[in-house]
Amino acid sequence: MNTTGDFYAVQPKDSPPEMEEIKKLLAANDLELDDQVQMFVVCRRQGRLVACAGLDHYTIKCVAVAEDARGESLSLALGSEVVNLAATRGQFHLFLYSAPHNLPFFRGWGFYPLVEVPERVVLMENSPVAIERYCDSLREQRRPGQKIGGIVLNANPFTLGHRYLVEQAARACHWLHVFVVKEDASLFSYVDRFALVAAGVKNIDNLTLYRGSDYIISRATFPGYFLKDQGIIEHSWAAIDLLLFREYIAPALDITHRYVGTEPFDPVTNNYNAEMKRWLEQAPSAAAPITVIEVPRASTRGTPISASKVRQLLAQRNFSKIQELVPATTLRFLEKQFPALVTTTQ
Amino acid sequence: MKVVKESIAGTLESSDLLVKVAPSNKGTLDIVIKSHVFKQFGKQIRRVVTDTLAQLSVDAGSIVVEDKGALDCVIRARVQAAIMRACGSNELDWQRLS
């Protein structure tokens, strides 16, 4: 007989009564239900819900064990269940957020700390070597020079504003490393965004373009980024993403300066820019500070160019206006992908 | 056998182990072993893992072992299961698994 209890998976939308039980268990552990969780693993013992762990794509969240069920093997069984659940969903490289004082608990799950916001949160991953292997692959791309720039772009889609930012940074640096956010959570797919960036920066010689990774503005490092269009984010967690950049990515490539466009429209990105100075330049860290350079956004006829503006115009198929905001390569792509609206009459 | 995709086998519970396998980017065989009893048994665990991989003719891949004090026979079985999954193989070659 299994003395631990019965484990099974719960999909939040399928089982409102069980979600109430999960909420209660989380509340008893000072946690809130994260509505991004797609699936919970729960443990029920003699009818009572005693443990839960949530999975949001490849990030484990909302882990709680009832107080009277602690100190036994339950937590390791819970860890095994959620890691195996993730595997059946095709997710093997996992991340986890923990309060710093619970770090030893999750070490037992085979998770290793990446970065910590002191006294607040630790980001962990389920590999002792993955981040180092990633940094090794970056180190092969190192370039000589005293001033090495870094830019992270979502480019949803690539505009003349992005082009201007990259140009300015490339001109100011000996070499420029540009990363394209990998997560497929934007209007345009990663493959398309990457292709448009590649086409748009083609004639800049002192630049390397990178596919993004789970460590740069991903659902794991910066979940809030992908919720911004819905306007429902509470915490941006930008600190975690920025510390990863400062402590791993920048040292691997000798990046000394991070470039970013000023953000007049989008509150999440604007907040991200503000947090950048704090976490890349000012916060205490074992890693050297990285200088943040805010480049004023390029404008057309007094209006700053932004990808969100392009998306708005695209919804109206206003290609004559879009033409003023994007390079020819992006325009051609948009015209092909978004044929003029057809009005049907009955 | 050739590792073509990611896989896992096992659990994190006491006396068991979790084996994680992934294709290697550079065609190397990288084995990482984590264990509470590494000081006493690290060499022995590594030997069982490398022997099992050799039996299955696995010469490339990333293998991460989270050991929780498993016996050799358990280690062998979990490594075999993880490799079979990572190779997408349904045919069991019992001679190699013995």
pLDDT in tens, A112-150: 999 999 888 899 999 999 999 999 999 999 999 999 999
- Asked whether the predicted pLDDT for residue A331 surpasses 70, the reply is yes
Mean pLDDT (whole number) for A75-95 = 96
Return the pLDDT at A343: 58
- Residues of chain A with pLDDT > 90: what percent? 76
Cα Rg of chain A (Å, integer): 22
Residue among A304, A334, A299, A329 nearest A316 (CA): A334
Q: How far is A316 from chain B (nearest CA, A)?
A: 43
- Asked whether the predicted pLDDT for residue A332 surpasses 90, the reply is yes
Q: Tokens 């190192």 identify what position?
A: A142
B36-44, long-range: CB within 8 Å, 24+ apart, which pairs?
A: B36/B67, B36/B68, B36/B69, B37/B67, B37/B69, B38/B67, B44/B72
Domains annotated for chain B, with CATH where assigned, are 7-97 (3.30.230.10)
Report DSSP state, residue A127.
-
pLDDT band per the 50, 70, 90 thresholds, residue B25: confident
**Stated length of chain A:** 346
Give the separation between CA A165 and CA A144, rounded to whole angstroms: 22
Return the pLDDT at A272: 81
In A221-280, which ranges are continuous DSSP H helix?
Answer: 238-244, 250-253, 267-276
Give the separation between CA A298 and CA A157, rounded to whole angstroms: 15
Return the pLDDT at A59: 95
Which fold would CATH assign to domain A6-128? Aminopeptidase (3.40.630)
Residue B4 contacts residue B86 (beta carbons within 8 Å):
yes
For chain A, say whether B11 makes contact (Cβ under 8 Å).
Answer: yes
Give the separation between CA A72 and CA A33, rounded to whole angstroms: 25
- Asked whether the predicted pLDDT for residue A229 surpasses 70, the reply is no
Residues of B in contact with A109 (CB under 8 A): 12
For chain A, say whether B14 makes contact (Cβ under 8 Å).
Answer: yes
pLDDT band per the 50, 70, 90 thresholds, residue B48: very high
CA distances, A171 to each of A154, A158, A179, A206, A345 (Å): 21, 19, 17, 9, 53
Tell me the pLDDT tens digit for each residue of A278-288. Answer: 999 999 999 99
Average pLDDT, chain A: 91
Return the pLDDT at A341: 67
In CATH, the number for domain A131-298 is 3.40.50.620
Give the separation between CA B44 and CA B61, rounded to whole angstroms: 20
Lowest pLDDT segment from A162-171, A225-234, A263-272, B67-76: A225-234
Rounded-to-5 percentages of helix, strand, coil across chain A:
40, 20, 40
Q: Which of A77, A84, A128 sits opposite B32 (nearest CB)?
A: A128
Report DSSP state, residue A77.
H
pLDDT band per the 50, 70, 90 thresholds, residue A263: confident
The chain A residue lying nearest B26, using CA atoms, is: A137
Residue B74 contacts residue B82 (beta carbons within 8 Å):
no
Helix (H) / strand (E) element for A51: namely: strand A48-56
> How many CA atoms lie within 13 Å of B55's alpha carbon, on the beta-carbon side?
18
User: Range(s) for CATH 3.40.630.30 in chain A?
Assistant: 6-128
Name A261's bridge partners.
Answer: A295
pLDDT band per the 50, 70, 90 thresholds, residue A236: low
- Asked whether the predicted pLDDT for residue A227 surpasses 70, the reply is no
pLDDT band per the 50, 70, 90 thresholds, residue A176: very high
Three-class SS of residue A56? strand
- Asked whether the predicted pLDDT for residue B80 surpasses 80, the reply is yes
Angle at A323 between CA A186 and CA A157, to 5 degrees: 15
Q: Which of B12, B25, B64 sits opposite A127 (nearest CB)?
A: B64
Q: Do A129 and B12 touch (CB under 8 A)?
A: no
- Asked whether the predicted pLDDT for residue B22 surpasses 90, the reply is yes
Q: Which of B14, B18, B34 sits opposite A83 (nearest CB)?
A: B18
The chain B residue lying nearest A93, using CA atoms, is: B6
For chain B, say whether A80 makes contact (Cβ under 8 Å).
Answer: yes
User: Range(s) for CATH 3.40.50.620 in chain A?
Assistant: 131-298
Mean pLDDT (whole number) for A256-263 = 93
**Cis bond before residue A157 (omega within 30° of 0):** yes
Residue among A159, A51, A160, A168 nearest A105 (CA): A51
- Asked whether the predicted pLDDT for residue A231 surpasses 50, the reply is no
Return the pLDDT at A1: 39
Three-class SS of residue A291? strand
Return the pLDDT at A233: 47
Q: How far is A41 from chain B (nearest CA, A)?
A: 15
Angle at A74 between CA A73 and CA A80, to 5 degrees: 95
Give the separation between CA B34 and CA A75, rounded to whole angstroms: 19
Q: Which of A80, A84, A128 sits opposite B64 (nearest CB)?
A: A128
- Asked whether the predicted pLDDT for residue A346 surpasses 50, the reply is no
Residue among A181, A209, A193, A164 nearest A337 (CA): A193
